[in-house]
Amino acid sequence: MKHECLAELNGVSKRFGKVVALDGLNLQIRAGELFALLGQNGAGKTTAISLLLGLQPPDTGTALLFGRSPLEIAARRGIGVMMQEAALVSELRVREQIELVASYYPDAMMPEAAMQFTHTESLADRPYGKLSGGQKRQVQFALAICGRPRLLFLDEPTVGLDIQSRELMWSTLRRLVSEGAAIVLTTHYLEEAEALADRVAVLAKGRVIASGTVNEMRALVVRKQISCSSGLSVEQIRTWKEVQSVQRDHKGLQITAGNVEAVVRRLLDEDEDLQDLEIHRAGLAETFTELTQESAQ
């Protein structure tokens, strides 16, 4: 089933003076997917999102939101936004903040409903300026969803949240996606992207250097890691041709290899007392590090 494209950047470039922020970038965000946009600081994530939100025009190429220019208010009525660095008016109470943002949308939920979804009912009558960092993020999340958006932009949504609040936000995000909404997530917490994202794109120097599902991304980095307790020496193992690197730490031997199966077989053959054998596949974090390092070289 082909999902409707809700937002797209087509061949978009953007410069700030001599700095190239985006360099012919193409992105598509489809209904019913959680799309994670990853990249190191300065990779172009914020600029890409700014273009989709209509905050800046591209120098070349087109940015489209629901097939329209993001500058059109009608296009933006389908989106919800949570920005990392937006400080709301500190004198207004939580319920008032939600009522204000809800008034921008044609089919918004009541403030009470938005607060119940985000578990912020107990904060309803408190001035925003008196909330803790985590509570502020929860309120910003309530503002992002109160307009029943079909496309949600979230920038570092769980920074400062405790584990329970983070799980709650994740479950609300999963529910939104299951209802057909799309979510664009920018985050430095790669485990968050790994847990939530259907599709990931890694940006570097204003271009997409890799994109795909989390599994596809992890497959880009073929190496795996073996850890075990063994009497074999580091020097001895280093001579094996399948082994890329080996070291000993407080947990035992840490071996990185492309063909782990061959290494495990040989370890078991050569050391009858081998214990605590574990094999780890490269996570999104390792993939991300490797990809961005390659791109920087």
Partner 1 sequence: MTTTTVAFNKLSSQKLSGQQLSNDVRMPAGQVWRAYWTEAKYEMLRACRAPAFAIPFFAMPIVFYVLVGIFLVGSMSKGDPHIIPTMFVNWATFGVMGPGMFGFGMFVATEREQGLLRLKRALPMPTSSYVLAKMAMTMMFAFIIMITLIVAAVFVGHAHLTAGQYALITLIDLLGSLLFCSIGLFIGTWASAKSAPAFVNLAYLPMMHLGGLFYPLPKSIQPVEFFSPAFYLNKLNLYVAGAQSMDGLAFGAGPTSHATPVLCIAVIIAVTLFFGLLATRRLKRLG
105 part of the interface to partner 1, by CB under 8 A: yes
Here's the x/- map for partner 1, 163-192, by CB under 8 A: it reads as ---------x--xx--xxx-----------
Q: Is 231 among the residues that bind partner 1 (CB under 8 A)? A: no
The yes or no reply on residue 149 touching partner 1 (CB under 8 A) is yes
**Shortest reach from residue 91's CB to partner 1, in Å:** 4
Contact (Cβ atoms closer than 8 angstroms) between residue 206 and residue 25: yes
Residue 87, number of CB atoms within 10 A of its CB? 10
Question: Rule CB under 8 A: is residue 58 a binding residue for partner 1?
Answer: no
Rg, C-alpha atoms of the chain: 23
In the complex, least distance from residue 23 CB atom to partner 1, rounded to whole angstroms:
18
9 forms part of the interface with partner 1 (CB under 8 A):
no
Taking the least distance from each CB to partner 1, the nearer of 64 and 209 is 64
Q: Which of 75, 161, 228, 257 binds partner 1 (CB under 8 A)?
A: 75
Taking Cα atoms as reference points, which of 32, 31, 70, 66 lies closest to residue 48? 70
Told to check if 6 binds partner 1 by CB under 8 A, we report yes
Provide long-range contacts, Cβ within 8 A and 24+ apart, for 113-119: 114/142, 114/143, 114/145, 114/146, 115/142, 117/142, 117/145, 117/172, 118/142, 118/145, 118/168, 118/169, 118/172, 119/165, 119/168
Q: How is residue 2 annotated by DSSP?
A: P
Q: Tell me whether residue 96 or residue 270 sits nearer to partner 1 (CB atom).
A: 96
Distances (CA, A) of 272 to 249, 250, 275, 277: 21, 21, 9, 12
The size of the interface with partner 1 (CB under 8 A), counted in residues, is: 52
Burial of 297 (0-12, 13-18, 19+ CB in 10 A): exposed
Would you count residue 101 as binding partner 1 (CB under 8 A)?
Answer: yes
Is residue 99 close enough to count as binding partner 1 by CB under 8 A? yes
Residues across the chain: 297
Enumerate binding residues for partner 1 (CB under 8 A). Answer: 6, 50, 53-56, 66-68, 73-79, 81, 83, 85-89, 91-92, 96, 99-101, 103-107, 109, 113, 116-117, 127, 145, 147-151, 153, 172, 175-176, 179-181
